[in-house]
Amino acid sequence: MKSHASYLLKPTLKTVHWGYYQCNLTPALTIKPGDIVTIEAVTSTPPEDFEAAGIEPSLVPSAHREIWREYDVKDRGPGSHLLTGPIFIDGAELGDTLEVHIKDIKITAPIGFNRNKLGRGSLPEDFPYYGIRILRLDLEKMTSEVLPRVVVPLRPFFGNLGVAPTADQGRISSGAPGIHGGNMDNKELIPGTVLYLPVHIKGALFSAGDGHAVQGDGESNVSALETFVQGTFQFFVRKGRRLRWPRAETPTHYITMGLNEDLDIATKIALREMIDYLHEDIGMSVEHAYMMTSLVVDLHVTQVVNIVKGVHAMLPKSVFLKG
């Protein structure tokens, strides 16, 4: 049996790019298909925000403190997310699909935050101000008491999982998702899920960040319960398998995604992607596939706050008889 290498990629000044994806970044790590990488990520609020809320300084990871203190300000943006990577996957080329198996995700600090930004979110006219709430996390019970006697179960995932965009796109924001993946904010991307991303350049250049302890579909006020996370991923390359948009597969569902500034168009993309999947991979006629989208496919609003909105369509595997 072929053995695969395992790596740990920590966030440092040399392994973090702040607020963007770009095709000409120097790889933080080069791996072969089948290799496993554990990636750590820090958050997009400064250490001072935690300390101002009474959080003990020792609970704020030292890597987070160093990056916020020393990262070149001129190299930030246009987005706000601190992304760890990129990872160069040998053999990945334009026209392939990067297959990312999410093996594990852990929260690495018992603190997090939620904030609304002036002019952002679903209801900026109702909440025309900046606000931040620092929250403690119980990592034994995997809950957070977000208000007195209001306890929320934690379900961590990475909001940002993406590859480099095409060369002609240049530097693009980590804030909006697209054909590269990026800030999809899809809470189904948890351990046991496989994420499929279209490859746009040699090596794919995969990065991850934007740790979420928990989030509702929609991410209505523009942030989840943001926190520090560590994820373990295994990477494979599907040669010659070209996708137009990111897709995913959980133990129970097939997922297609639609991304557009117009929520109606995002919905159409997700549905057409599902019809294509049922037609091309399962062998249904397009008419039968369209019927299936109405009978058993659930449409979820992934997020509505990142300029480019998201819809994901979920098809239960249980409708397909075995044998």
34-45 residue pLDDT tens: 999 999 999 999
Length of the chain: 323
Q: Is the pLDDT of residue 168 over 80?
A: yes
* DSSP conformation class of 168: G
Q: How confident is the model at residue 68 (pLDDT cuts 50, 70, 90)?
A: very high
pLDDT at 55 over 60: yes
Task: Give the model confidence (pLDDT) of 287-302 as tens digits.
Answer: 999 999 999 999 999 9
Helix (H, G, I), strand (E, B) or coil at 106: strand
Residues 81-99 have pLDDT tens digits of 999 999 999 999 999 999 9
Q: Class of 252-319 per CATH?
A: alpha beta
Residue spans of the domains in the chain: they are 6-238, 252-319
Residue 281 has pLDDT above 60, yes or no: yes
Element (H, E) at 234: strand 225-238
Under DSSP, is residue 4 helix (H, G, I), strand (E, B) or coil?
coil
Q: Is the pLDDT of residue 2 over 80?
A: no
At the topology level, CATH places domain 6-238 in Jelly Rolls (2.60.120)
Pairing of strands 82-89, 206-214: antiparallel
pLDDT for the residue numbered 3: 83
Q: Name the pairing type of β-strands 206-214 and 194-198.
A: unpaired
User: Given this model, what pLDDT does residue 97 score?
Assistant: 98
This prediction's pTM: 0.96
Domains 6-238 and 252-319 share a fold: no
Using 50, 70 and 90 to split pLDDT, how confident is the model at 322?
confident
The mean of the pLDDT values for the chain is 97
Residue 119 has pLDDT above 60, yes or no: yes
Count how many Cα atoms sit within 13 Å of the Cα of residue 163 in the half-sphere of its side chain: 29
Residue 263 has pLDDT above 90, yes or no: yes
Per-residue pLDDT at 1 exceeds 70: no
Q: What is the mean pLDDT of residues 179-183?
A: 98
DSSP string for residues in 259-320:
EESSHHHHHHHHHHHHHHHIIIII---HHHHHHHHHHTPEEEEEESSSSSEEEEEEEEGGGS
Can you tell me the mean pLDDT for 248-262?
A: 98
